[in-house]
Amino acid sequence: MKIKSIVAVCAMLAMTLFSFKATDKEVQSDKRFGGLALYTVRDAMKDARATLEKVAQAGYVNVESAGYNNGKFYNLSPADFKSLLDEMKLTPISAHQGTANFENIDQQIADLKTAGFKYFVIPVPPMGLFGHDGGKMTMKGGAKNLAGILDKLGEKCAAAGLQLLYHNHDFEFMKDAEGTVVIDYLLENCNPKYVNFQMDLYWVTKAGADPVAYFKRYPGRFKIWHVKDMDDQGRFAPVGNGKIDFKRILDNKKLSGMQYYFVEQDACFNETALEAIVISHKGLEKIGFK
């Protein structure tokens, strides 16, 4: 009887342990969602392996790069960068390519494809058109000129199986010297076969514009969002620690055309970048992002 009792107890313990392990795996799986723009942790990416491991541990599954230079991503060849992401179970989705021009676009496209990216993102007006004036971001050349450049770059990307997106800041929502609202011109004149948009929700809000109003005016054009919050001083803040009404925006996900979203925080004030990405991931879950 004693032997049978011991066997029975062991069996029950084994079943309990198995149940706990299965539950742990389910919880871990449930908490891994969403994307991170690596610009947030750009300084820490000097040690890409250690930093990407922390990104994965924070719960993210997708990444957007912002560290391409001389044919390498964070000093790694495109193939090596892809291998590292695979090892960390992180998926490359989009890449900010601020140095793109007509001469190097073919090589950059090839490198993005080798690294496994789907979206080629132009982060600011390219080819020397972007600038600063008294601390404010500016552009020269006019909206029509920028639209033509984006269409040409986008056509190249489309032919290679990538999608080109333009990422906004706040200045595109202001009227330029000719009285044109740059973002409106781009949305109305860029060919949607070649050019769509990455909406940065912070910068739209900073400009005094309404993301949902843009979704209604230009449905389906905003394929990726940058999700970043704004504190009471108008500064960057971890998601959920600011005043942007993300739930209202998220309710209009389908209208916007959003396929992916990425947490991004340009600067941190009350925490380190690696602390901020953990806070933001928890914020995403509370808001209802998946």
Percentage of the chain with pLDDT > 90? Answer: 87
pLDDT number for residue 21: 36
In angstroms, the Cα distances linking 227 to 34, 71, 214, 238, 270 are 10, 28, 16, 9, 18
Distance CA 42, CA 289 (A): 24
Distance CA 3, CA 182 (A): 80
Distance CA 165, CA 230 (A): 24
pLDDT number for residue 143: 96
Instruction: Give, in words, the CATH class of 33-287.
Output: alpha beta
pLDDT digits (tens, 9 = 90+) for 188-213: 999 999 999 999 999 999 999 999 99
**Which pLDDT band, with edges at 50, 70 and 90, does 243 fall under?**
very high
- Assigned token pair, 193: 């076969």
Of the listed ranges 5-14, 27-36, 226-235, 258-267, the one predicted with least confidence: 5-14
Angle, alpha carbons 205-211-212 (nearest 5°)? 140
How much is the mean pLDDT over the chain? 91
Q: What is the mean pLDDT of residues 269-276?
A: 97
Domain ranges of the chain: 33-287
